[in-house]
Amino acid sequence: MAAGCAAPGSDAPQAENPTAAAPSTAPACGTAPVTLNAYFETGFPLPKALTAEFSKQHPNVKWDIREDQFAVITQNAPRVLADDPPDLMRLPQVSELVKDNLLKNMDGYAQAFGWDEWPASQLQQMRMAPGGKTRGEGSLYATGLNFSMTGVFYNKKLAARIGMSAPPTTLAELDDLLAKAKAAGIDPIAQFNGGATGGLAFPLQNLMAAYGPAAPINDWIFQKPGATIDTPSNLQAAQHLAKWTKAGYFWKDVNAVDYATMMSRFIDGKGLFMFNGDWESGNLDKQMAGDAGFFLMPSAQDGGELAAMSAPLAFGVGARSKNADCAAFFLNWVATDSKARDITVEVGGSHPMGPADGHMPSVKPGTVTESTLAAGAKIAEDNGAMDFIANATGAIYAKSWTPNLQKLVAGQQTPEGLLKAVQSDYKSQVGGN
Amino acid sequence: MTGPTPDKAVDLAERRPGPTARTRSRVRRGGRRGSRLIGWLFVLPALAFYVVFVLRPITLTFQYSLYTWNGIGPSTWAGAGNYLKVFTDPDLFQSILNAVKLIVFFSAIPVLLGLAIASAIRRVAASRLALVARTVIFLPQVIPLVAAGIAWSWLLSSTGVINQVLTAVGLGGVTRAWLGDFSTALPAVGVIGAWVLLGLCTLLLLAGMSKIDPALYEAARLDGAGPLREFVSITLPSLRQEIAVCVTVTVIAALASFDIIYISTQGGPGNATMVPGLEIYYLAFSERQVGVASALAVVLMVLVIAVALPIQWLTRDRSS
């Protein structure tokens, strides 16, 4: 009871000594037996597959793994990192964790292992400027096991029925295909937008990048001062999305469809297109072998640059972790060891992290995985990697994008109102922190 | 001189009138104090749990509600600011209104329907049908709320049984995703709550009816009362206590609802089914505004007490 009388949070973790220099030799796991404490996401086999292989190569390292659903990890991350810091942890958006001094600053490791020479866009989202306000620049606080890529999946059988022989190269072509599908009695777009997960944010952000450049969208997500989502090109994108909802391109019950329902319906052939990410490529290659394709969202202009939401599968080290060096060594191994990179592609389906010329496993031609990996290269070339607009603040997705997108579908919100409402919530959340 | 002198032998401490009486009474008083202490000892475990798990959280929640705090970092004093936000933020206030609307489904329907069903079952009390009916109606109370929420979201989905039945009887035009439609989501969630709570009310009311003296009904019938008259003049007044319990429990269930809504709609679409319980959870664990979440929790607690106390007072048996 005595502690309850002090103001809450008076025992908050303090900032690390910021002058922590790079170790003179690259950190490693040594030869003495060590057990790493890990906190992973339930339902994703990749981290466990990697830790198993790592222990094969480094038998002195054992793992104590705890798993939870991602929503649970998101809610628990601050408390777990403060009370019982894991050596290695699947992370939600990092900015609030960095502000509370809960994550290890990884600049020293980046220098020692040479992560600074990787394509900069891979780690950009894990950087925080001093003061912990702006993301996308400054010190490194996490890295990834791989990085995902979003775009448009399509059902090749349904595409053949409307005479679509190749993916659309402009937004106008995509519109044309949607209209043809609707006329042919095919559900044009498979998407989810139910509960607290507004999946229409996927097509919306793709449309934003089709109408305008990717960089201002990232600035907004990274909370750069003065950034706004309410721009003329984003308004065009929101209006375009509203046009799609009015034309009946989404399922009538889209506001009651969750992610799992969308996937099972798409695999069942109830939808020509689906805005989603390459974490499903392996799954679709298995369940719709040969019948699923993937393309990047086309630009509104002919030959315009392409952009996609792309994010590392973020993993970090607790600020007070006891085996931080070994955990960092593992993260470096995941990105550079050729066996690890094979596992990353085979099990995870996404592009491995690491140097641009790193080892790439051979992929069966004609598969979705092949197209998504190729798309990754194209995005790197156009510098079109964006974080997800749902990650701008901790609450912007569930409390702002989702209800407003659901209202847009029901005709209770206008495209202008959608952007204004989200921008106003954003300002109060960014200012309130 | 080996034994005590007679004088001394007589003069034993307990035989002296004054001190002895005092001693006795002191012993008696001490005994009472001892048994009182033992009484406290028996209460202590329960009291400790109550203090640690009920009073302490309530106190802390109230304390947190006066600060702006993200749950980890340092906090700043906010005074009544968080309470002001609860009543001025349209989203937060709307969630309280939604909970009030849910009372119709969680409370009015189960109590009224429960009365009708209990009277019907009472009439066939001896038959096997009554047993079956009782079991079937009470079953939802046994099923975990999470399972009920999942089952009903399947039933209410656009391809679910309810829409299939509607289509089969020629009402295909009204089919929709009940939980995904702005106008039907809150009533649909309410129906799930009504289904869950109907069993509890029916069983409570049935138990109350079995206590009513059958002679009362016989007398009423001799006086020429019909079934409706019996119900209004005998059944209803005799069930005052049971109805009070039903209304209290179900109103609290409506105001403090969480599980069913978290599973079936998560507050969507567009906040149409947002209730304070869910909002507190989102504020504390997703938005990390522990202060505002605590303020809303305190408001919810006061609201529940403010509603439950008058119900108790109104339905108290004033004859005793």
User: B91 and B20 in one domain?
Assistant: no
| Inter-chain Cβ pairs, chain A and chain B, closer than 8 A | 122
Nearest to A403 among B69, B271, B285 (CB): B271
CB within 8 Å: A12 and B71: no
- In which band, very low, low, confident or very high, does the pLDDT at B151 lie, cut at 50, 70 and 90? very high
User: A97 and A59 in one domain?
Assistant: yes
User: B249 and B199 in one domain?
Assistant: yes
Query: Is the pLDDT confidence value at B235 over 60?
Result: yes
Measured distance CA(B169)–CA(B173) in Å, rounded: 11
Q: Give A256 to chain B, closest Cα distance, Å.
A: 4
Dihedral of CA atoms B8, B13, B17, B20 in degrees, nearest 10, equals -170
User: B193 and B44 in one domain?
Assistant: no
Contact residues for B310 (Cβ-Cβ < 8 A; gap 6+): none
The number of folded domains in chain A is 2
CB within 8 Å: A399 and B282: yes
**Is residue A7, in this structure, part of any structural domain at all?**
no
**Is residue A94, in this structure, part of any structural domain at all?**
yes
- B63 interfacial to chain A (CB closer than 8 Å): yes
Give φ, ψ of A322 to 5 degrees: -85, -20
Measured distance CA(A86)–CA(B13) in Å, rounded: 73
CB within 8 Å: A395 and B266: no
Cβ atoms of A316 and A96 within 8 Å: the answer is: no
User: A352 and A261 in one domain?
Assistant: no
The tokens for A27 are: 């950190």
DSSP secondary structure letter of residue B68 = E
How many C-beta atoms surround the C-beta of residue A228 within 10 A?
14
CB within 8 Å: B69 and A195: no
**Is residue A19, in this structure, part of any structural domain at all?**
no
**Is residue B287, in this structure, part of any structural domain at all?**
yes
Nearest to A82 by CA among A292, A322, A319, A402: A319
Residue-level pLDDT at B13:
46
Instruction: Check whether the bond before B187 is cis (ω within 30° of 0).
Output: no
Question: Which amino acid is residue B182, in one-letter code?
Answer: F
| DSSP H helices in A196-257 | 201-211, 215-221, 232-246
**Pairing, β A308-316 against β A143-155:** antiparallel
Q: What is residue A170's three-state secondary structure? A: strand
**Is residue A45, in this structure, part of any structural domain at all?**
yes
**Pairing, β A385-386 against β A292-295:** unpaired
User: B237 and B154 in one domain?
Assistant: yes
Domain range spanning residue B279?
A: 81-314
User: A103 and A62 in one domain?
Assistant: yes
Task: Give Cα separations from B211 to B138, B221, B235, B239 (angstroms).
Answer: 20, 18, 10, 9
**Residue after which a domain boundary falls, among A327, A352, A373:** A373
User: B38 and B181 in one domain?
Assistant: no
Measured distance CA(A309)–CA(A286) in Å, rounded: 24
Give φ, ψ of A135 to 5 degrees: -100, 165
**Is residue A17, in this structure, part of any structural domain at all?**
no
Query: Is the pLDDT confidence value at B226 over 60?
Result: yes
Low-confidence ranges of chain A (pLDDT < 50): 1-4, 18-19, 433
Contact residues for B190 (Cβ-Cβ < 8 A; gap 6+): B101, B102, B104, B105, B106, B109
- B73 interfacial to chain A (CB closer than 8 Å): yes
Q: Which residue has the tokens 């409706």?
A: B228
Measured distance CA(A366)–CA(A364) in Å, rounded: 7
**Is residue B240, in this structure, part of any structural domain at all?**
yes
Question: Which amino acid is residue A264, in one-letter code?
Answer: S
- B158 interfacial to chain A (CB closer than 8 Å): yes
Residue-level pLDDT at B2:
44
DSSP secondary structure letter of residue B14 = G
Residue-level pLDDT at A429:
84
User: A406 and A352 in one domain?
Assistant: no
Nearest to B177 among A197, A253, A403 (CB): A253
CB within 8 Å: B69 and A9: yes
Question: Please, is A33 exposed, middle or buried when counting C-beta atoms within 10 Å of its C-beta (0-12, 13-18, 19+)?
Answer: exposed
How many C-beta atoms surround the C-beta of residue A424 within 10 A?
12
**Helix (H) or strand (E) run with residue B151 in it:** helix B145-155
User: A177 and A262 in one domain?
Assistant: yes
Give A-chain residues touching B266 at CB under 8 angstroms. Answer: 195-197
Which residues are paired to A149 by β-bridges?
A310
User: B170 and B47 in one domain?
Assistant: no
**Residue after which a domain boundary falls, among A373, A395, A412:** A373
**Is residue A257, in this structure, part of any structural domain at all?**
yes
User: A360 and A294 in one domain?
Assistant: no
**Is residue B216, in this structure, part of any structural domain at all?**
yes
**Residue after which a domain boundary falls, among A344, A373, A402:** A373
Give A-chain residues touching B269 at CB under 8 angstroms. Answer: 193-194, 255-256, 403, 406-407, 409-410
Give the chain A residue whose CA is nearest to the CA of B177. Answer: A253
Nearest to A9 among B74, B158, B179 (CB): B74
Question: Which amino acid is residue B268, in one-letter code?
Answer: G
Cβ atoms of B179 and B189 within 8 Å: the answer is: yes
DSSP assignments along B48-67, one per residue:
HHHIIIIIHHHHHHHHHTTE
Nearest to A217 by CA among A94, A388, A400: A388
User: B110 and B45 in one domain?
Assistant: no
User: B291 and B182 in one domain?
Assistant: yes
User: B33 and B166 in one domain?
Assistant: no
Residue-level pLDDT at A5:
60
Task: Identify the CATH number of the domain in which residue A413 sits.
Answer: 3.40.190.10
Tens digits of residue pLDDT in B16-32? 444 444 444 444 555 56
User: A398 and A288 in one domain?
Assistant: yes
**Is residue A154, in this structure, part of any structural domain at all?**
yes
Q: Which residue has the tokens 């079991």?
A: B135
Q: Which of residues 196-225 of A touch B (CB under 8 A)?
A: 196-197
Domain range spanning residue A232?
A: 149-310+385-432
User: A121 and A156 in one domain?
Assistant: no
User: A413 and A275 in one domain?
Assistant: yes
How large is the greatest C-alpha to C-alpha distance in chain B, in angstroms?
Answer: 119
B173 vs B83, higher pLDDT: B83
CB within 8 Å: B286 and A407: no
**Is residue B129, in this structure, part of any structural domain at all?**
yes
Predicted complex ipTM: 0.82
Q: What is residue A126's three-state secondary structure? A: coil
Measured in Å, how far apart are chain B's first and last C-alpha atoms?
Answer: 73
**Is residue A232, in this structure, part of any structural domain at all?**
yes
Nearest to A402 by CA among A193, A198, A192, A201: A198
User: A102 and A200 in one domain?
Assistant: no
Strand positions, DSSP E, B144-301: none
How large is the greatest C-alpha to C-alpha distance in chain A, in angstroms?
Answer: 73
User: B249 and B129 in one domain?
Assistant: yes
The number of folded domains in chain B is 2
Question: Which amino acid is residue A321, in one-letter code?
Answer: S
Nearest to B269 among A99, A255, A394 (CB): A255
**Pairing, β A308-316 against β A385-386:** parallel
The tokens for A432 are: 């309130």
**Helix (H) or strand (E) run with residue A352 in it:** strand A351-352
User: A75 and A207 in one domain?
Assistant: no
Q: Mean pLDDT check: name the lowest of A265-274, B59-68, B174-183.
A: B174-183
Give A-chain residues touching B176 at CB under 8 angstroms. Answer: 252-253
Instruction: Give the best residue of B69, B72, B265, B275 to mutate against chain A (max A CB count within 10 A).
Output: B72
Question: Please, is A109 exposed, middle or buried when counting C-beta atoms within 10 Å of its C-beta (0-12, 13-18, 19+)?
Answer: buried
User: B295 and B179 in one domain?
Assistant: yes
User: A424 and A284 in one domain?
Assistant: yes
Measured distance CA(B48)–CA(B167) in Å, rounded: 58
CB within 8 Å: A9 and B73: yes
**Is residue B76, in this structure, part of any structural domain at all?**
no
- In which band, very low, low, confident or very high, does the pLDDT at B304 lie, cut at 50, 70 and 90? very high
Measured distance CA(B132)–CA(B113) in Å, rounded: 18
Give A-chain residues touching B173 at CB under 8 angstroms. Answer: none
